Amino acid sequence: MKQETKNTPQGTERVALVTGGSRGIGLGIVKCLIADGFSVMLNGVRPEESVADVLKDLRDGGADVAYCAGDVSDADARKRLIDATRETFGALHVLVNNAGVAPKVRADILDAEEDSYDWVMDVNLKGPYFLTQLAARWMLEQKEADPAWSGAIVNVNSISATVVSINRGEYCVSKAGLAMATGLWAARLGEHDIPVYEVRPGVTATDMTAGVQEKYDKLIDEGLTITPRWGQPDDVGKAVASLARGDFPYSTGQVIMVDGGLSVPRL
């Protein structure tokens, strides 16, 4: 069912756009933003009828949400997503770049193929880079029209930005690139007081990690993380919500680790 277009005056509600927001970490983020009073545009690659149950559950709880299907690696889809947010809510305060993919086949970097590399890089790096460009242009328009407007951009990255996995090199390279993109956008938008942050989850229970559950259960039991459990989507959601609320206005460009202490050097 198509969400009714709003004509709410700018500044009377806070609006977030979350890519990959219909399941996993993205849905955990959406739920935390809703709890903070945000209206949310969810994005995913599945058609809307495939996420109808998710949308119904959110709306039954009183959430003001809409959904726009589209692959962030596609330029036309990115434009449609921004246009749909504008048409539905009339404003955008927070962009959460969460959508991401793992290689279709975990292959040693000696055997990895270019089509896998291109696909992962397009979704994980090119997509958020150019979606941020579109969102930032709109944010600057809103800031010029209303100096009281405030917003932020949050990139949901991964410990793989710095932690090497030689059987999914393209994923690691894409995440390292996203880390640089965070710094670039933070530097570019700083003069406009639009902070850009990065949240870096560790081993988190999602569809993406379901196939390696046994492996990581064992590693966590053996002390891989300081906090002896898997991360959950709402662990990431709580971190993103705090940034979206503006709790860290003087920390633009910074990385928030949500990895249970996995990245802490230990002897």
Active site residues per annotation? 171
How many CB atoms are closer than 10 A to CB 96?
31
Tokens at residue 161, please?
């930005």
Q: Which residues contact 166 (CB under 8 A, 6 or more apart)?
A: 108, 109
Q: Which residues contact 222 (CB under 8 A, 6 or more apart)?
A: none
Rg (CA), the chain: 18
